[in-house]
Structures are given as C-alpha cells and as structure tokens.
Amino acid sequence: MLKANKNTLIITSIITLLPMGIGLFFWNRLPDTMATHFGPDNVPNGFSSKPFSVFGIPLFCLAMLWLAAFITSHDPRKQNISSKIFTLILWIVSIVSLIAAAIMYPFNLGFSFDISLIMEMLLGLMFVILGNYLPKIRQNYTIGIRIPWTLANEENWNRTHRFAGYLWVFSGIVLIILGLTKLLPPIWSLLVLTFMVLIPCLYSYHLHVKKNL
C-alpha cells in the first residue's frame, strides 16, 4: 500500500511541513511565546515557545501522518482498505497541519478573527466528507467504527457504517449551521460530536443483540 501511494505520501508530507517555512518567513515578527490553543470564546488558553510552535507542531503532524500510513499499510485486512480511503486519511492529517498554521500565525501576528467559527465550519465540512465515505469502508482494524460488534460481524459493520454515514453528514451540516448562526452556545457543538460517536455504537450493539436473540 505504501509503494502504491508513494507519491501521495511524499506530497502530503511536504504540505504538512509547509507551516515551518511560513514560520521562518515571519520569524522576526512572531512573539517568543506563541498562543497555540484557543477556547470557544477565541481566548488563547495554551502557549508554546516559538521554536516548538514553528517546528514542533508540523513535525508532530508529520509523525502522525507516517504513523497513520504505517499502521494502515500493516492492517491484517489491508486489502479491504481502498486507495481512496488511504489517500483521504493522509490528506486530512496534512490539512490539519495547514489549518493549525492558518489559525496560529495570523493570531500571533496581531490579526483578529473568529477562530471558533472557522473550527466549527471546518469540522462540519470534514464530517460531511467523512460521512460520504463511511458506507464505502470495508471491514478492517484501522479505519472506521472499530468496536467489538462491527469487527465480529461483517453485516453489523456494513449496516453501522451506512447508518453512521447519514448521521455524520447530518451532524456536519448542523455544526456548520451552529457556527454560522451562533444561535446556541459552543457546548452544543461538543454535544453534537458526542452524539455522532455514541449513537452509531449503540446502534451497532442493538444489531448485535437483535441478531443473538
């Protein structure tokens, strides 16, 4: 799998490290201690040194990229993981690195913008995309809803992922709407994310119990 997707791995690795070049370009304008984590009120609640922010975060993302590629390529059922899904995972990690830079650098350079809106919009879009891919994921040990009942039964896997796909697309749209309208406090976005994880697991367990009655 790694050989077949070698070019994608190289391209996404380069993109993952791009924030290092951006950080070097703005090095003299960046503060020695940089805000790297933000609360739902857009107030920074986590800080790191400039070297770690510029070099450490992209390198950490690169390590996660290669770890994801290595684990996926060594899955006992890797033949069930399509090249499209593998490529999607690599691109998600590299884009996360770019998003982190797109938020961190402007803020530390003195620009003011709605960080929570950006995060909710991007999360919503990501889950809409993932929701469309979920039903296409075949049974494996690396990617998907990997709980005992889906791994033990292929029909359970397929039905759970089909159900979760619709749910994730719907929830992604809800996150986008919540971000745009600000009708509800940020805690509701967290509740939506919890709902997205918990409900498919309960549905899978329901299928398992129903099958064994």
pLDDT bin (cut points 50, 70, 90) of residue 4 is: low
Confidence at residue 2, expressed as pLDDT on a 0 to 100 scale? 65
pLDDT digits (tens, 9 = 90+) for 52-84: 999 999 999 999 999 999 998 888 888 888 888
Q: What is the 3-state secondary structure (H, E, C) of 14-29?
A: HHHHHHHHHHHHCHHH
**Looking at the predicted structure, is the pLDDT value of residue 197 above 70?**
yes
Torsion, Cα 84 88 94 100, to 10 degrees, reads: 170
Question: Who wins on pLDDT, 186 or 81?
Answer: 81
Q: How far is CA 144 from CA 34, 36, 85, 141, in A?
A: 35, 29, 10, 8
pLDDT digits (tens, 9 = 90+) for 144-172: 999 999 999 999 999 999 999 999 999 99
**Domain range annotation of the chain:** 1-113, 114-213
Q: How far is CA 108 from CA 100, 105, 138, in A?
A: 12, 5, 43
CA–CA separation, 154 vs 156, rounded Å?
5
**Looking at the predicted structure, is the pLDDT value of residue 10 above 90?**
yes
Amino acid residing at 62: L
pTM: 0.84
Q: What is the mean pLDDT of the chain?
A: 91
Confidence at residue 43, expressed as pLDDT on a 0 to 100 scale? 87
Residues β-bridged to residue 81:
none
pLDDT digits (tens, 9 = 90+) for 97-156: 999 999 999 999 999 888 888 888 899 999 999 999 999 999 999 999 999 999 999 999
Confidence at residue 78, expressed as pLDDT on a 0 to 100 scale? 86
pLDDT bin (cut points 50, 70, 90) of residue 179 is: confident
* Alpha-helix runs per DSSP H in the chain: 6-25, 50-51, 57-73, 83-108, 115-133, 148-152, 154-181, 187-212
Residues β-bridged to residue 46:
37
Lowest-pLDDT choice from 125-129, 151-155, 179-183, 192-196: 179-183
